Structure 1
Amino acid sequence: MSVASRIVVIGVGNEFRHDDGVGWAVIACLRERARGRPLPPGTVLETCDGDPGRLLALWENAALAVVVDAAQADPPRPGRVHRLALDGTPPGPTATSSTSSHGLGLGEAVELSRILGRLPGRLVVYAVEGADHALGRGLSAPVAACVETVADAVAADVAGHVAGHGAGGERP
């Protein structure tokens, strides 16, 4: 796959902090599905702890990067999914403030990529509101219930990009 058509899907989080593992769970779901419903050839599935430098390296030279991460909101609605797509003009600093449960991470990676001129051609972020970010394994019921839906939306974004329209549209 050429650099110009490279696609990467990144699950951000920590599977040992309950709902913070939703990004990893979506990647695991996509990997499991690949046996019967593979993503387009050359699509890379990765997991990351949210380190800005690692995120930048994972999406560098990608035509499309799709990121799935846990989010915190006030008031929280566990399992609610937010979708943000960045095309063309990079966002300014206020558009990249972190909603991640990691404190530092995705917002900082986007801003650093913007400053360095290394944003992917298209960046789609799925932020899933969580209920429990304490130490431990397993997703809360509302977050676990949205994993398949988010995996469907990610697969649709990738397929849409490959088909040449990549506009996405409203997702969960």
Structure 2
Amino acid sequence: MDRSSGSPTRIAVIGIGNDHRRDDGVGWAVVAELARRRLPRGVALFRTDGEPARLISAWEGADRAIVVDAARSRPSRPGHVHRFRIHDALSRSPWSETSSHGFTLGDAVELARVLGRLPGELLVYAVEAADTGPGTTLSPSVAAAVPPLVARIEHDLVHCGGAADGEG
């Protein structure tokens, strides 16, 4: 999925996931819901499996990128949403091991940094997953997190400033 208003991409919203691994599809579910909304001009929506080259291509040229992905955490609080800004030190942070994929977002960020292809600002929403096994539906706690997360991202799209608050 790639939807843009026809104007240059100022903000890329990227859902990372796999809709055949239950909660790992939360990023795609958020992007699908945003696609039903009237978004500001210059917003482009993308779905990706998170492979670093595809992820970098999605945010390349954007002033701001918002990434939504499932995350693992211990202890787990399924459906809990973490919000944070990415900085150069991500690969050394605790967030570098939270991805539900075989690679980390930190890997893609480090590669983009080396290549000079980071967006001006990178904001991440990590949704704690309950189940990433085979299946096509989100767990109830993760599904319940989608509507408020979509509303929060819509707010971010309208009010592009402000500091991240760590957790949500």
Normalising by structure 2, we get a TM-score of 0.88
Residue 99 of structure 2 corresponds to 100
Equivalent residue for 1:18, pick from 17, 22, 43? 22
1:7 and 2:7 correspond: no
Residue 158 of structure 1 corresponds to 157
Check the 8 A contact 1:26/1:147 in 2, yes or no. yes
Q: Which runs of 5+ in 1 are unaligned?
A: none
How far apart, in 1, do the equivalents of 2:130 and 2:43 lie? 30
Cα RMSD after superposing both structures: 1.6
1:129 and 2:128 correspond: yes
Deviation at 1:152, TM superposition (A): 1.0
Q: Which moved more, 1:7-16 or 1:113-122?
A: 113-122
Equivalent residue for 2:35, pick from 22, 31, 38? 31
Equivalent runs, 1:78-97 vs 2, <5 Å: 78-86=78-86, 90-91=88-89, 93-95=91-93, 97=96
Ranges of 4+ aligned residues in structure 1 off by more than 6 Å: none
Check the 8 A contact 2:130/2:139 in 1, yes or no. yes
Equivalent runs, 1:25-64 vs 2, <5 Å: 25-32=29-36, 34=37, 38-64=38-64
How far apart, in 1, do the equivalents of 2:163 and 2:32 lie? 22
What is the total number of aligned residue pairs between the two structures?
160
What are the superposed Cα offsets for residues 55-91 of structure 1, whole Å, 9 maximum, x if unpaired?
01110111010000000011111001111113xx633
Distance 1:92 1:104, change over 3 A: closer
Deviation at 1:129, TM superposition (A): 0.3
What are the superposed Cα offsets for residues 20-47 of structure 1, whole Å, 9 maximum, x if unpaired?
0000000111112x2xxx1111210110
How far apart, in 1, do the equivalents of 2:154 and 2:110 lie? 26
Distance 1:30 1:168, change over 3 A: farther
How far apart, in 2, do the equivalents of 1:144 and 1:100 lie? 18
Check the 8 A contact 1:68/1:127 in 2, yes or no. yes
